[in-house]
Amino acid sequence: MISVAEAQARLLALASPLPSIELELTKAARHYLHGPLHAKRTQPAADLSAMDGYALPAAAFHGPWHVIGESAAGRPFAGVLDRNQAVRIFTGAHVPAGADTILIQEDASRDGDTLMATAKDALAPGMHIRTAGGDFSSGDTVLATGTLLEAGPCALAAMAGHGTIEVGRWPHVTIVATGDELLPAGIECSPAQIPSSNSPMLHAMLSNLPCKITDAGIIPDRLNELETRLSALASTTDIIVTTGGASVGDHDLVQAALRNIGADMDFWKVAMRPGKPVMAGKIGNTIVLGLPGNPTSAFVTAFLFLLPLIRHMAGCLSPLPEIFEAKTVNALFPGGSRAEYVRGKVEGGSITAFTSRDSGLVSPLSQSNALIIRDVNAPATPAGAPVQYHRLF
């Protein structure tokens, strides 16, 4: 068996970020930026007013000034102000030449075209002015390689002068459930059958990730059928993720089927609990990731391996899950010979571990928002001590 860290490193080494594509900004959300993005323009392009009021020379405080015009966003005042002149100005409008401050309208008294300041404090140059280039200048790097394009970065890219953007292509992920005992969710099961819960679970886990998802349904425990179906899928997708059939029983046939169709398997069995029989390899350019059939085991291994693989192939530079720390509410058992990922719930600055370690139970998984990390041979941890965890959402 290999460690979780080694398995993650070897899995990511099997794949490279996918080639970039160019997308309109309105279609670029949840993609990772391919290469740094440089500003094509300066923002603001000129000094702008941050408030409604009057643009004027600060040195003439507290007036009077003679109002000679108006500056509005998109309609700047074209002239130059003398010492005792002012221009009515609105938020976002260009500050005219000769003005160096904004008298906000709450501190102004106007009689016709004669303006006076009612504030006691003197005006200082630069007050209420957004200075040209205060956000960024033409040529600046405004977004780094690998930035996830959410609302803020998309707005920044547009303001920097870009209508299209080069991003990493989303990987195509095909989900395959295996097992004679499985029926599609919602179909009435006999006592010998169970609903296929892993496929809906994986769909939910991947729904906010940068990937395209296909569900290939259920393949029964038949070696020839597994070979035929998996071989066909390998030419149509970037990642095949299977659930079930990854262990060593007589009916665990996924690894044999993959090898028979030419897969080069990189690793099988990871020193972790739950999820030991996870495996990974390649068929041509397609990554194959085999997860256990137990729902909790499939969830944990998908979180630790499948999700980072997708982020990596989509162009993320830090694809592994982040580690957080909180104080445990209950005492934790010593670690064993495998790293263990304990279902838990974070509330405030504390985390509660679910007492059942049975990975066959789905109810605790549905209530969890964290996985507590118990390293190999970790000492027993008393209540109130800090523990590390992965945040699930």
pLDDT tens-digit series, residues 120-156: 888 999 999 999 999 999 999 999 999 999 999 999 9
Please check whether residues 263 and 184 belong to one and the same domain. yes
Q: Encode pLDDT of 28-76 as tens digits.
A: 999 999 999 999 999 999 999 999 999 999 999 989 999 999 999 999 9
Q: Give yes or no: residues 200 and 308 share one domain.
A: yes
Structural domain ending residue among the three candidates 314, 342, 366: 314
pLDDT for res 355:
83
Question: What are the DSSP calls for 241-309, one per residue?
Answer: EEES--SSSTT--HHHHHHHTT-EEEEE-BSEES-TT-EEEEETTEEEEEE-SSHHHHHHHIIIIIHHH
Our count of domains for the chain comes to 4
Residues 180 and 283 in one domain: yes
Residues 209 and 279 in one domain: yes
pLDDT, the chain, mean: 95
Whether the per-residue pLDDT at 250 is higher than 90: the answer is no
Cα torsion for 185, 369, 364, 176, to the nearest 10°? 30
* Residues spanned by the domain of 339: 323-391
pTM: 0.91
